[in-house]
Amino acid sequence: MKHVPVLLTETLKYLNVSRFRERDGVFVDATFGGGGHSMAILDQTGQGLRLIAIDRDRAASQRAISLSQRYGERFTLLQGNFADLSQLLDEVQVKGIDALLLDLGLSSYQLSNAPRGFSFQLDGPLDMRMDQGQESSAADIIRTGTVDQLRDIFRRFGEEPYAGSIARAIVAARSQKTITTTRELADLILSLTPPAKSHRRLHTATRVFQALRIAVNEELQALVAVLEAGLSCLNQGGRLVVISYHSLEDRIVKRMFRQWSASCSCPPDFPVCTCGKVPQVRRLTGKVVVPQVDEIERNPRSRSAKL
Ligand SMILES: C[S@@+](CC[C@H](N)C(=O)[O-])C[C@H]1O[C@@H](n2cnc3c(N)ncnc32)[C@H](O)[C@@H]1O
CATH code (residue 170)? 1.10.150.170
Q: Please indicate, yes or no, if residue 1 is contained in any of the structural domains.
A: no
Is the CB–ligand 1 distance for residue 180 below 6 Å?
no
Give the pLDDT of residue 198: 67
pLDDT of residue 157: 97
Please tell me the residue having the least CA distance from ligand 1 atom 24.
106
Tell me, yes or no, whether 16 and 85 share the same domain. yes
In a domain, 3, yes or no: no
Atom 22 in ligand 1: which residue has the minimum CA distance?
A: 55
Which amino acid belongs to residue 270?
F
Same domain? For 157 and 293 the reply is: no
Q: How many domains does the chain have?
A: 2
Same domain, 87 and 234: yes
- Identify the domain containing residue 152 by its residue range: 113-217
Assess whether 119 and 204 both reside in one domain: yes
Domain boundary among 217, 246, 264: 217
251: Cβ contacts below 8 Å, ≥ 6 apart: none
Closest CA to 79 of 138, 2, 133, 25: 133
> Last residue of a domain, which of 217, 249, 270?
217
Is the CB of 75 inside a 6 Å radius of any atom of ligand 1? no
Task: Give the residue, out of 130, 223, 295, 307, with the most ligand 1 atoms within 8 A of its beta carbon, to mutate for a pocket test.
Answer: 130
Within-domain flag for 22: yes
251 assigned to some structural domain: yes
Cα separation, 115 vs 111, whole angstroms: 10
Q: Same domain for 135 and 269?
A: no
Same domain, 98 and 31: yes
CA 221 to chain centre: 11
Are 224 and 209 in the same domain?
no
Atom number, ligand 1, closest to the C-alpha of residue 34 = 9
Mutate to test the pocket of ligand 1, among 55, 108, 241, 248 (most ligand atoms within 8 A of CB): 55
Reported ipTM: the value is 0.99
Residue 198 lies in a domain: yes
Residues 164, 124 share a domain: yes
DSSP letters for the chain? -PPPPTTHHHHHHHTTGGGGTTS-EEEEES--TTSHHHHHHHHTS-TTEEEEEEES-TTHHHHHHHHHHHHGGGEEEEES-GGGHHHHHHHTT---EEEEEEE-S--HHHHT-GGG---TTS--BS---SSTT-S--HHHHHHH--HHHHHHHHHHHH--TTHHHHHHHHHHHHTTS---BHHHHHHHHHHTS-GGGHHHHHHHHHHHHHHHHHHHHTHHHHHHHHHHHHHHHEEEEEEEEEEB-SHHHHHHHHHHHHHHH-S--S-TT-SS--S----S---S-SS-----HHHHHH-GGGGG-B-
222 lines ligand 1 (CB under 6 A): yes
In a domain, 2, yes or no: no
Q: What is the CATH number of the domain that holds 290?
A: 3.40.50.150
Residue located nearest, by CA, to atom 13 of ligand 1: 31
269 occurs within a structural domain: yes
Which of 168, 199, 217 is where one domain is finished? 217
For residue 108, tell me if it sits in a domain. Answer: no
How far apart, in Å, are the Cα atoms of 14 and each of 179, 232, 240, 287? Answer: 45, 19, 8, 13
Question: Looking at the structure, do residues 225 and 242 belong to the same domain, yes or no?
Answer: yes
Same domain, yes or no: 246 and 298: yes
Identify whether residues 210 and 138 lie together within a single domain: yes
**Domain identity same for 77 and 206:** no
| Ligand 1 geometric centre to CA of 23 (Å) | 27
Q: Can you give the pLDDT of all 307 residues of the chain as single tens digits?
A: 788 999 999 999 999 999 999 999 999 999 999 999 999 999 999 999 999 999 999 999 999 999 999 999 999 999 999 999 999 999 999 999 999 999 999 999 999 999 999 999 999 999 999 999 999 999 999 999 999 999 999 999 999 999 999 999 999 999 999 999 999 999 999 888 776 666 777 788 999 999 999 999 999 999 999 999 999 999 999 999 999 999 999 999 999 999 999 888 888 888 888 888 888 999 999 899 999 999 999 999 999 999 9
